[in-house]
Homo-oligomer: A and B are copies of this chain.
Amino acid sequence: MGGGFGGLYAAKQLARLNVQVTLLDRRNYHLFQPLLYQVATGALSPANIAAPLRGILRHKQNVQVLLAEVTGFDVGNRRVLYDGGELSYDTLIVAAGMVDAYFGHQEWETLAPGLKNIEDATRIRARILSAFEAAERLADPQEIQKWLTFVIVGGGTTGVELAGALAEIARYTLRGNFHNIDPSQARIYLVEGADRVLPPYPPELSAQALRSLTQMGVSVLTGTLVQDIQPGAVVVKQADQTRTFETYTVLWAAGVSGSPLAKALAEATAAQVDRSGRVIVQPDLTVPGHPDVFVIGDLAHFNHQTRKPLPGVAQVAMQQGRYVAREVDARLKGKTLPPFHYQDRGTMATIGRASAVADLGRIKLHGYLGWLAWLFIHLIYLIEFENRQLVVLQWAWNYFTRNRAARLITAKRHAFLFPTPRKAAEGAPRTAGVCYVFTPKYEHLYPARGEVCPQ
């Protein structure tokens, strides 16, 4: 279950065997998550990076897709519980992925949205574009600067790519689009707790990424932790100094934790869950004592190869998906496979236009070469997408025109972006759940400060 890289690759491989496969997902599409930041920054449309699961699997007669939300596990009776019933299994593969984690500060979620799914991406896109629109409407220089200040929390791949794309938007895409403001005056801060960006990469590539970001006008703050996010401001701490950034736009790329299903599975199987909410798996990716239950992809904590668990990247998930399928095949033949072994094919990140860093094991690339490698490898894996050619063309177009045609502010009416002006009653209780907050001044434009309004 799970239509991400792990689940999808497992399903595709299992389809070749004489088994019945059911793929459960609450979404009807497979999302090419590594490119999600391109949707958030208006370069691609959601449909460019999302492909309907039924379309991908339509020629696999023995694979059934079920649009359903898994709610729990009954491993004793070998059943998966979902929102509309239950399903029996012989072998269960859990590939439910991760959700954003706010380190115990769940109240930051509305103030600093993360980037995990398409709705997140279009919401971030709306917030970025709305910030420029709000600045254009104002006269007060201080307020304008607050709208033109962007803070990205987290200097991993997503954070670095978002910061680069934002710099690109501010300096090139929106050039000449406004009359009262100069978008290139936008300040973009990238805040990272470790002492360098892209901590999992070799230090020389981190240094390259830092150079590229700085050249593009991004202010990178390493060794810096976020202390507080308030409506209109972020407080960070570097060494012993605290510093406050006045901003209406904070984007979260700092941490993820396992899907809540990890806990449900752990309770059902007595498996262990790590601090990040991932299920600790055996060398063959199963849960201890349950050889018929596999956990793969980002949700699996696999520490049998190196001391650190494997990173949460598509490559790991795909290889694990394929491994499980081969293991099932082996078991059907009365055999068993050697433990899972991850083959690291490298990691990479783009920084703005035509620049990237790539760590391909022995080969380390940066700048234009790194970008070509990034392009090539992403094209290979976009192979799931029937209209990959269109993505290439869209990229080519964007590349030459520096344009981002998908810069649409779409939002449900009454949604956060243009909330209906309304005030919470005096003394209204602050609810513990998700709340939208409004400024007295910009309540028509943005949730930022002032009244708390229960959703």
Contact = CB atoms under 8 A, between A and B. Distances in A.
B408 A28 contact: yes
Contacts of A133: 28, 67
Could you say how many copies of this chain the assembly holds? 2
Interface stretch (A2-10, A43-51, A150-158, A348-356): A43-51
B137 A407 contact: no
B389 A405 contact: no
A26 interface: yes
A338 to B, nearest CB: 35
By size class, the interface of chain A is 35 or more
A390 interface: yes
Interface string A167-204: 00000001011110000000000000000000000000
A386 interface: yes
A393 B47 CA distance: 15
Given A386-B405, A408-B29, A409-B27, A418 B47 contact: no
A401 B442 CA distance: 47
Contacts of A334: none
A11 to B, nearest CB: 14
Given A28-B133, A46-B408, A55-B177, 12 more contacts: A29-B409, A50-B408, A52-B408, A55-B407, A67-B409, A83-B444, A83-B445, A84-B137, A84-B442, A118-B410, A119-B410, A386-B397
Interface of A: 26-29, 45-48, 50-52, 54-55, 58-59, 64, 66-69, 83-85, 118-119, 122, 129-130, 133, 136-137, 174, 176-179, 385-387, 389-390, 393-394, 397, 401, 403, 405-415, 418, 421, 442, 444-445, 455
At the interface, is chain A mostly helix, strand, loop or mixed? loop
Contacts of A64: 179
Contact of A412 (B179, B397, B407, B412): B412
A412 B409 contact: no
B176 A58 contact: yes
A405 B387 contact: yes
B411 A54 contact: no
7 contacts: A28-B133, A28-B409, A46-B408, A55-B405, A55-B407, A67-B137, A83-B445
Contacts of A176: 58-59
B408 A118 contact: yes
A51 B405 contact: yes
Contacts of A413: 119
Which of A47, A67, A445 gathers most chain B CB within 10 Å? A47
A66 B138 CA distance: 11
A292 B442 CA distance: 31
Nearest to A180: B64
